[in-house]
Structure 1
Amino acid sequence: MLPILILFTIYFSSCLLYDQKNAEHQPNQLSKIEYQPDSIEVNGNRLSFIGTSCGKKYQVYYQLKTEDEQKFFKNLDKNGTLVFTGTLSKPEGARNYNGFNNVKYLASQNIYRQINIESINGIQTNSNFSLQLLRRRAIIHIQKKFPSPCSNYITGLLFGYLGKDFGEMSDLYSSLGIIHLFALSGMHVNFFLDWFRKIFLRLGLTREKIKILQIPFSILYAFLTGLSISVIRALVQKLLPYRKIDNFAMMLILILIFMPKALLTIGGQLTILYAFAMCMTSFKKTKKAQTNVVNYLWSSICLTLVALPLLIFYFHSFQPLSILLTFIFSFIFSTILLPLIIIAFFVSFTGIIIPCNFIFLVLEGLIRAIDKPLHYPFVFGSPNIVQLLLLFIFTGLFIDFYRHTKMRLFFLSGLILIYLTCKYPFLPTITVIDVGQGDSIFLQDRFDKQNILIDTGGKVSFMKYAPWQSAQAKTNAEYTLIPYLQSIGVGKIDHLILTHTDDDHVGDFLKLADKIKISEVLVSPGELSNPVFVSKLTKANLPVHVVKTGDTIPIFNSKLEILSSGYTGKGDNNDSIITYGNFYGSRFLFTGDLEREGEKELINNFPLLKVDVLKAGHHGSKTSSDPDFIERIGPRIALISVGKNNRYGHPNQETLETYNKNKIKVLRTDLYGAIQFYRSSNQWQIRTVK
């Protein structure tokens, strides 16, 4: 055993050193890139793909200029090289706590730079064949021959490809906890290999010959499904001549040798964990489990318990009924949909299209109906590393000692306690969430007993797009605000304050309401004069409270006070709701997009106002932070929520000089990412993501 461990240590150490060297030694400029055909993604006027040059991989982005250019790339079914003018840059790391880290994600695929193409100067296609090209041609064929949503199910279940137009349904499947049905793995591998064996047995081949033929078939299937780690894991286990733990051990050794970064990916960690759990829990079935249904449910419960810590570590929420839904829809997918789409796919090459789209329309209608009462999954929050390890240990011991009543209760109590500490943070916090060029501030009391969100962020759109340019895209909040809230266990917002009607403050309100429950929305009278904003409130169908000066919300053993419900009555910048709180001896002022005229009004109404921490108005623009206002309120810290490299030039240099002159510490989200105040050792501590 020791020599094996030493060999693995040497191997992975050399892989790590090579990886670091590869990450550092990257070119500064490129003009040609060989695209990977099955990675091409056209979404409106956006083009993205993975390319290679001199043995190095790159993530490539380009904004399509014409509709003809869009059609060309949608139908591109040849290998080739792109000649371009563009820039290389490093991927962006996480900008919020528990946020998505694109650097680590791309590094797990051996990608360390991304290319932003400014102009395409030429495309050199060739007749070279590859299995990735075969996958690309199959996907294009399906998209041309079959209508939506049928085409999405065929490409998803046969080739592991889901287009951007499947985004809404993907969200619904995710909220129900059954999106893994589209992650090609054991169910799909077993289905295809079992039918492969049956067909060749019927043709008279011996089992020994079939075992040999399975190898090239498995390689072909792996490439056609995009070399997914879950598919490779399932194929290796299916082909190995070992059983139970020996099968798992040999699979893991082979995976780590040939795919040393497998465990750096979410998919790799989950599929290996599921394989280990299936191997170990197969010995734990109760004596009463005589039927296949009971066996399946017992195994599913064990698998869910084992995988739950890792699932909430990455995704923060869980749908308790997903076990039952998986049981039902696995049967539908494996016995009805898979045979149907295989027949439809192969028959389509004869020119005959089986009219089966109505089946998928009925299925999606069923999914929507089920989702309505179950739309909001249970939010656990994200465990830290220590909590994650404890959850795995206690889960394993709980399953091992399930028949021992006292031990079972002990480990179950431990699990519940750890999960509660994930969901209910002990420390009170005030967080300026990095939502790019916008505002979103979250106040959370200890144990989440009261929370307040001020604004949601959102994108301001200045351009009108032609129909062909319209892209299916997630909102900004789905990348920033919502994952952060769920990662700290927030399944419900008690009070949402929408300061005014600008999109960079309230643009993602509806998406937030769709993902997280909101008890109450607070708005100013002036905001109700904006018909577009009012239509959003109506669509959200939530309790609305129109604030007035002097209103308070209890939090932090104190209160958040409304100093102004707006000065103009128009819902514009100077109509921003202004809030103030003295929390544990530190005075916080949140001003929305308040400009100089509003600042003067505020001082006139509250001439003795003093502040320790100021959320700067209007992202630090020159229209706000009047020198007299800053001098009068005397803040020690100024918080500026602003997008990196934004088009407005925020924060303005004049504003920064005002802060510097008054010796005010400036914390900016474009430089530091999310900014958080947390109460520890009887005082507010400050930390930032960067």
Structure 2
Amino acid sequence: MASLFYQFHLLLLLLLSSLIIRMICMKNCWLWLMVFLCSFFLSLRTYYYVNKIENEPQRITNGYLKIQTDSIKVDGNSLKLTGKIQGKKYFVYNTLKSPAEKAIWQGKALPNMAIVNGDTEDFDNARNLNGFDAKKYYQSLGFTQVLQAKAIKPVKIQRFSISDVRQRLIWRIDRRYSTRLASYIKALIIGYKDAQFADYTSAYKTTGLLHLFTLSGMHIQFYLGGVHLLLKRAGLVRETRLLLLSAVGLLLIILTGSGFSTIRAVVSFLIAFACLTLEIQLSKLDQWSIMLFLLILCFPLVFWSVGAQLSLYFALILSYLNDLRLKKWQQLVLFSAFALPIMIYSFSEWTIIGGLFTILLFPLFEWLILPGCIVLFLGCFLPIPQFLSFLLEQFFRLLEKVLALAAFPNLTIGRPTFTILLFLILIVLLLIDRLKYQRKTYWLLGIAFLLIASVSFSAKGMVAFVDVGQGDSIFIKLPFKQETFLIDTGGRLKFRQKKWQRRQQKHLSDYNLLPFLKSLGCTKIDHLLITHNDADHMGELVNVLDNVKVKNLYLAKGSQIELKKLIQSIKGTKIHLVKKGDTVGNKLKVQILSPEKSTGENDDSLVTYFTLNHQRFLLTGDLETTGEEALIRNYPQLKTDFLKVGHHGSNTSTGKELLEKVRPKYAIISAGKKNRYGHPTQETLTKLNKQKIRVFRTDQQGMIYYHWSATTKWGEIKLLIDFLE
């Protein structure tokens, strides 16, 4: 859906053709003129917008950066902020060099200007299949590039800025209330989510209620509806109310950080109220269309943002549901069901009980949580009783505990193709139409079920070298989910740091490996193999075990001695110790070629070998040249098509003897983008080039995968990024 108006798609072309045919049949000249003018203005606006944000990487010297102060975030020695240089918007990164420098960016009066030196670069495209595309997301928000600031000298000057006002509000809330309560108030009143917010709201995420804490239609309806009621009670006429509501709506947009959901909700509210005030007869769908036109005019790449996709789709569904004249709880149940297509396209999963909990909690939000947060927000400026903040905080604590107990696993389906998504949305619209006229819907539900089932049970098999940064992770899936394998999990190597430098620890697999597995509908791994004990190969093991059911875990015999505590903590997974000569798997036989006995070191890595769709794969972990020599002595007839290069392309691996003996066609190097070790080394690349082996690198090309069809047996290598040197 992110590419809805900007990329060619056969099905979209067919839909556009049907629209043109319908317009021809209507024989309405005014309609043709309106469509032409709208298309012309949107195309022109998009052209200028894209030209403005697309730039070549450059070096910035002594650039004057206007800082958006409410965007400043400090995590250990990491500084992130947004700002403008000569009208161009940048996302700025900087590594802080001292505690004194860190303190400057954490005070009350934050710098609103800075002199910066650094290099700009493009945002990353999606680095894994179905992964987060940072470039599209940030470009949809008007960002030009990333600025890696080598030096940043803060300057405080006297100038009025909305972001300064918002930052002061954030500071006041933080100073007035506890960390937990402040997080809730900031999220619900000014749309700001701090670093702690995710910790407090994890229970809402698992129960499908996190949307209640994102400023959107419900919240704006409450705020503007409340203001409208006060204006009406004051005896103001509709025209005056419309002007004042427009001013209040604009203020809300500014103070809440101009989030897309807020803008959409405010514009929708004002369009509906304007139609009522000016007595203009427009259907809900027409109002939605006007709102969409205005938003695309302001944000031409709006469909590149997942949040915008969700917001617009939900608004469209609600506009149709309003015509059914259902009770509130019936609307919410249908809304939850009809949200399924866009939810699985965006997140690969659907919260089964999200609709039920929304029904139960909606009155609490309407009558307790939102009014309570408003009162406490006003308490930053006016005296209010202390017990009110205590009561609301205790209520939030209780709600978190209750929802944590009531948490129910989400239904992981996988990410449908764009074509399937369009068909599912069409089915949703047809279902609403048939419900309106009380017609049977069984056949539509049957088609929808088959389409959804086809997502998880794909006829394609895959061997994927996942981009996990400076680490290894290889995923193998047989067609129709017959069997799944994961070899290593990736992870972060730890370095000694001072206390002030330490950043908040996050699981890397939450951002690369796990979303990829979810997008394939993979909820179970049959066989997980750990090649050796280094953190960049097994650092994310515990997090993977916590999020995906793993039936069997395989460790090299001998390596378990160092992992005794970890092994004792693992529940529900069978642990196997394997050595040279063993075989793992049922449908697919993965042979263990090395070692005989392991100590968990690089040269004791599990070496695996298997054949899929007539293609041979040799995966060597971090095996070094000594281990490679032993391998070719033990298996003199060993040949392969795909070689996973040892130790991320280090010069301690991938000896000339191995390459000449196994004669691979393709070499896969798993390394982190701009890693500190200089992997892969030029020496290794030269050896591979001399043997005329085609090289693929995750640091340059993102995830690399070979996939094939169970029906045609045709397979190909796919890259996430077409890298050109």
Structure 2 length-normalised TM: 0.88
- Look up the match of 1:231: 262
Structure 1 CA distance, aligned partners of 2:626 and 2:398? Answer: 52
What is the identity, as a one-letter code, of the residue corresponding to 1:647?
R
Is 2:62 aligned against 1:22? no
Structure 1 CA distance, aligned partners of 2:220 and 2:322? Answer: 20
- Look up the match of 1:401: 434
Is 2:356 aligned against 1:324? yes
Q: 1:443 to 1:307 in 2, by over 3 A?
A: same
> CA contact under 8 A between 1:344 and 1:353: conserved in structure 2?
no
Structure 1 CA distance, aligned partners of 2:350 and 2:96? Answer: 38
Offset of residue 204 of structure 1: 5.5
Identity %: 32
- Look up the match of 1:277: 317
Q: How many residues align?
A: 676
Is 2:621 aligned against 1:581? no
- Look up the match of 1:60: 92
Task: Give 1:658's match in structure 2, choosing from 673, 683, 687.
Answer: 687
Alignment of 1:365-444 (within 5 A): 366-368=399-401, 370-371=403-404, 374=407, 376-402=409-435, 408-444=441-477
> CA contact under 8 A between 1:37 and 1:77: conserved in structure 2?
no
Q: 1:64 to 1:170 in 2, by over 3 A?
A: farther
Describe the superposition over 1:341-360 as per-residue Cα deviations: whole angstroms up to 9, x where unpaired: 22222223346673535644
Structure 2 CA distance, aligned partners of 1:317 and 1:382? Answer: 8
CA RMSD of aligned residues (A): 2.5
Is 2:192 aligned against 1:189? no
Structure 2 CA distance, aligned partners of 1:251 and 1:442? Answer: 43
Is 2:297 aligned against 1:257? yes
- Look up the match of 1:292: none
Structure 2 CA distance, aligned partners of 1:161 and 1:513? Answer: 32
Q: Secondary structure at the match of 1:436?
A: coil
Structure 1 CA distance, aligned partners of 2:399 and 2:482? Answer: 36
Structure 1 CA distance, aligned partners of 2:608 and 2:408? Answer: 32
Describe the superposition over 1:504-531 as per-residue Cα deviations: whole angstroms up to 9, x where unpaired: 111112222333232232222333222x
Alignment of 1:211-226 (within 5 A): 211-226=242-257
Q: 1:403 to 1:85 in 2, by over 3 A?
A: closer
- Look up the match of 1:560: 590
Task: Give 1:103's match in structure 2, choosing from 135, 138, 160.
Answer: 135
| Range with bigger deviation, 357-366 or 318-327 | 357-366
- Look up the match of 1:673: 702
> CA contact under 8 A between 1:131 and 1:220: conserved in structure 2?
no
Offset of residue 323 of structure 1: 0.5
Structure 2 CA distance, aligned partners of 1:561 and 1:361? Answer: 56
Offset of residue 7 of structure 1: 0.8
- Look up the match of 2:662: 633
- Look up the match of 1:622: 651
Offset of residue 139 of structure 1: 0.7
Task: Give 2:554's match in structure 1, choosing from 522, 527, 543.
Answer: 522
Offset of residue 314 of structure 1: 1.6
- Look up the match of 2:530: 498
Q: Secondary structure at the match of 2:90?
A: strand
Q: 1:325 to 1:344 in 2, by over 3 A?
A: same
What is the identity, as a one-letter code, of the residue corresponding to 2:548?
I
Structure 1 CA distance, aligned partners of 2:428 and 2:664? Answer: 49
Task: Give 1:4's match in structure 2, choosing from 21, 34, 54.
Answer: 34
- Look up the match of 1:134: 165
Alignment of 1:428-467 (within 5 A): 428-466=461-499
Task: Give 2:209's match in structure 1, choosing from 135, 153, 178.
Answer: 178
> CA contact under 8 A between 2:45 and 2:297: conserved in structure 1?
no
Q: Secondary structure at the match of 1:227?
A: coil
Offset of residue 318 of structure 1: 1.2
> CA contact under 8 A between 1:348 and 1:354: conserved in structure 2?
no
Instruction: Structure 2 unaligned segments of length 5 or more: list them.
Output: 1-30, 276-282
Q: Secondary structure at the match of 2:441?
A: helix
Structure 2 CA distance, aligned partners of 1:348 and 1:311? Answer: 37
Structure 2 CA distance, aligned partners of 1:602 and 1:25? Answer: 49
Q: 1:22 to 1:558 in 2, by over 3 A?
A: same
Instruction: Structure 1 unaligned segments of length 5 or more: list them.
Output: 290-294
Q: 1:62 to 1:654 in 2, by over 3 A?
A: closer
Offset of residue 52 of structure 1: 1.0
| Range with bigger deviation, 63-72 or 411-420 | 63-72
Structure 2 CA distance, aligned partners of 1:387 and 1:590? Answer: 35
Offset of residue 473 of structure 1: 4.8
Task: Give 1:39's match in structure 2, choosing from 71, 80, 101.
Answer: 71
Task: Give 2:638's match in structure 1, choosing from 609, 614, 618.
Answer: 609
> CA contact under 8 A between 1:622 and 1:655: conserved in structure 2?
yes
Structure 1 CA distance, aligned partners of 2:357 and 2:626? Answer: 57
Q: 1:436 to 1:196 in 2, by over 3 A?
A: same
Q: 1:388 to 1:157 in 2, by over 3 A?
A: same
> CA contact under 8 A between 1:497 and 1:523: conserved in structure 2?
yes
Offset of residue 58 of structure 1: 0.9
Offset of residue 559 of structure 1: 1.2
Structure 1 length-normalised TM: 0.92
Offset of residue 630 of structure 1: 2.6
What is the identity, as a one-letter code, of the residue corresponding to 2:589?
K
Q: 1:535 to 1:369 in 2, by over 3 A?
A: farther
Q: 1:639 to 1:189 in 2, by over 3 A?
A: same
Structure 2 CA distance, aligned partners of 1:277 and 1:405? Answer: 18
Structure 1 CA distance, aligned partners of 2:357 and 2:232? Answer: 34
- Look up the match of 1:81: 113
Q: Secondary structure at the match of 2:157?
A: strand
| Range with bigger deviation, 20-29 or 341-350 | 20-29
Offset of residue 244 of structure 1: 2.9
Structure 1 CA distance, aligned partners of 2:69 and 2:385? Answer: 26
Offset of residue 57 of structure 1: 0.9
> CA contact under 8 A between 2:525 and 2:550: conserved in structure 1?
yes
Is 2:186 aligned against 1:155? yes
Offset of residue 319 of structure 1: 1.3
Offset of residue 338 of structure 1: 1.6
Is 2:367 aligned against 1:335? yes
Is 2:165 aligned against 1:125? no
Q: 1:496 to 1:359 in 2, by over 3 A?
A: farther
Q: 1:517 to 1:623 in 2, by over 3 A?
A: same
Task: Give 1:245's match in structure 2, choosing from 285, 299, 314.
Answer: 285
Offset of residue 366 of structure 1: 4.2
Offset of residue 476 of structure 1: 2.0
Q: 1:397 to 1:228 in 2, by over 3 A?
A: same
Offset of residue 77 of structure 1: 4.0
Offset of residue 28 of structure 1: 4.4
What is the identity, as a one-letter code, of the residue corresponding to 1:97?
L
Q: Secondary structure at the match of 2:60?
A: coil
Offset of residue 387 of structure 1: 1.0
| Range with bigger deviation, 371-380 or 214-223 | 371-380
> CA contact under 8 A between 2:78 and 2:94: conserved in structure 1?
yes
Offset of residue 406 of structure 1: 8.4
